[in-house]
A and B are shown apart, each in its own frame.
Chain A
């Protein structure tokens, strides 16, 4: 069975601070995908990144960076120099690569509040 754990329920920071969101996953599959989605207060789900299990390279996109560590089954997400617009719920998710039986298992989400 697949499981995603986001141990941090809420994180509150002051603008310009860095914030790291933890994500730990469990799966028996050797091929799988990891995702991060953002849900701002307006409610939509915004895709941020997908990483497949064969690619352990860290990725940076602007102020966002992701650290994938297969050895510890973690896929952590860092927002550098946070801004008020980063306030949202962030979800980590996991899927296997079964064609047509493709479903995301989401973590419980981490609510990030960035104060001005």
Chain B
């Protein structure tokens, strides 16, 4: 009954390959995210999707293509992998709502991360 689950946990691949990371949440949240954590532990948002629609794209190379088949899933496909893509990728979800003009966002719930190593 994991809330946000990502697969695989570890991914080792060679430069030039194409790979995908899958993410699913069973919290009923309507917004999902991908964050990247580099070797210095710095965390930065890559994408967010709300109800299958792309909301945030933080100047990520277009070799990275997120796909959201439904609001419970947000997969990340990476083409032509490069050494610099090695990092830990975290999926997350949140529930957002409006009350009048005020937006409320729940805290992000993160998956356990996928450690991608490109050799």
Contact = CB atoms under 8 A, between A and B. Distances in A.
Given A45-B90, A108-B42, A102 B112 contact: no
Given A43-B112, A47-B107, A100 B41 contact: no
Interface string B93-104: 010111000111
Contacts of B41: 39, 89, 108-109
A35 interface: yes
In this complex, the interface size class of chain A, counting residues with CB under 8 Å from chain B, is 20 to 34
Nearest to A110: B41
B53 to A, nearest CB: 9
A108 B58 CA distance: 18
Interface string A27-65: 000010101010100011101001000000000000000
Among B31, B43, B58, B109, the one with the most A-chain Cβ atoms within 10 Å of its Cβ is B43
Interface string B54-66: 0110100000000
A95 B107 CA distance: 10
Interface residues of B, number: 33
Q: Secondary structure of the A side of the interface?
A: loop
Contacts of B25: none
A44 B108 contact: no
Interface string A79-114: 000000000010101010111111110101100000
Nearest to B108: A104
Q: Which 5 A-B pairs have the closest CB atoms?
A: A99-B103, A45-B110, A106-B43, A103-B45, A102-B105
7 contacts: A35-B107, A47-B107, A50-B107, A100-B96, A104-B45, A104-B108, A108-B42
Interface of B: 31, 33, 35, 40-45, 48, 50, 55-56, 58, 88, 90, 92, 94, 96-98, 102-105, 107-113, 115
Interface of A: 31, 33, 35, 37, 39, 43-45, 47, 50, 89, 91, 93, 95, 97-104, 106, 108-109
